[in-house]
Amino acid sequence: MATITDVSKRAGVSRSTVSRVVADNGYVSEEKRQAILEAIAELGYRPNTMARGLRSNRSDIIGGVVVNVSSPFYAQMVGGTQMACRAAGKSLLVTSGHAEVEAESRAIIELLDRACDGLILYLENPIQGDVLEIVRKSGVPVVTIGGDDCPVARARITIDNFTGAREAMRHLLALGHRRIAHLSGGLIYRDSRERLRGIEAALGEYGMGLSDIRVEYGEFEERFGFAGIETLLSSGEDFTAIFAGDDDIAAGALLALKRHGKRVPEDVSLIGFDDNFHARHLTPALTTVRQPVGEAGQLAANLLLQLLAGEKLEHTEIIVPTLLVLRESVTSPRLLEAVKERA
């Protein structure tokens, strides 16, 4: 393996001159810079980033914790985070907390043990006291996405799940839907709780409450959407609209409805949440709530990078808005009744 000494000999310059080019720190004439870059390319030299980190007291690694890195939802968030980190010359190391206290704590400690310069945390639980103290003593800056249960966080990004869910339920209610079922994610998830608050707020505007609709709880997975519809249909309960907790649940619900001969939206309206890639490609295309999770990840990374650069943050709390996206999977039950009467 080529060393910095090999590069300096090939380029005919000192080791310190090679170091300045590799670190992009300090003046080097263009002629010498080109000679060094050519030597690096010819020899296949790769800088020792660990040694460089020891000298600078920086690893150039950002650590991240999300609920589940295998989920398309969190993959978008990680993608936005990585984009910002790479643009700043930083690497990103991400792990899953699985919405469990112990797993989240272990993930944080592992990232600190790997000398991450800063942390971006998406946690579903309050950070444990002993872990909180370890983070505090490390001096590593922390930015959170979602919750406010991390006292050492110096900035926070929040996605407005409450407003998104309220607007989606308002839409169904304004169209005349009253027999509504909500297939919610589990209450261990902050997003589920916030969306339920939004749904309840919209129902309250119509003199209704959560007890006036059917609510089923499960995981943010397609199979729960399918099973939820099976449960609703087997109960014999009549409903005109399904509000799915996310687009994966909506996809499973759509499949189950079709298998039972239920047309969307002719027989049942269906609305989702997230606006994942597949939402617009379902048949019919899914009306849903767009939450820009990639943007949230990018914003969190940019805030952390500012902190690492010693800059004062203009805003330490940023709320990312959601948007109701109207497509083809929702219609008015009154319109359907009128069509049936004419038929």
Say what the pLDDT of residue 172 is.
Answer: 98
57-86 pLDDT, tens digit each: 567 899 999 999 988 889 999 999 999 999
Stretch 183-209: mean pLDDT: 96
Instruction: Report how far Cα 141 is from the mean position of its chain's Cα atoms.
Output: 20
For the chain, the average pLDDT equals 90
Residue 67, burial from CB neighbour count under 10 angstroms (0-12, 13-18, 19+): buried
Q: Quote the pTM value.
A: 0.79
Q: Where in the chain is the domain with CATH 3.40.50.2300?
A: 59-159+294-312, 161-290+325-342
Stretch 164-168: mean pLDDT: 98
pLDDT band at 6 (very low <50, low <70, confident <90, very high): confident
Q: Which residue has the higher pLDDT, 122 or 40?
A: 122
Say what the pLDDT of residue 55 is.
Answer: 47
pLDDT band at 15 (very low <50, low <70, confident <90, very high): confident
Stretch 174-194: mean pLDDT: 95
Domain 59-159+294-312 indexed as CATH 3.40.50.2300: yes
How many other β-carbons are positioned within 10 Å of the β-carbon of residue 268? 26
230-284 pLDDT, tens digit each: 999 999 888 999 999 999 999 999 999 999 999 999 999 999 999 988 899 999 9
Say what the pLDDT of residue 57 is.
Answer: 56
Stretch 43-61: mean pLDDT: 63
What is the distance between the alpha carbons of residues 182 and 237, in angstroms, rounded to a whole number? Answer: 13
Q: Which residue has the higher pLDDT, 174 or 44?
A: 174
**Architecture of 4-47 per CATH?**
Orthogonal Bundle (1.10)
What is the distance between the alpha carbons of residues 254 and 268, in angstroms, rounded to a whole number? Answer: 10
Contact 101, 132 (CB under 8 A): no
Contact 276, 247 (CB under 8 A): yes
What is the distance between the alpha carbons of residues 88 and 302, in angstroms, rounded to a whole number? Answer: 9
DSSP string covering 172-240: HHHTT--SEEEEEEPTTSHHHHHHHHHHHHHHHTTT--GGGSEEEEE-SSHHHHHHHHHHHHHTT---S
Domain 161-290+325-342 indexed as CATH 3.30.200.20: no
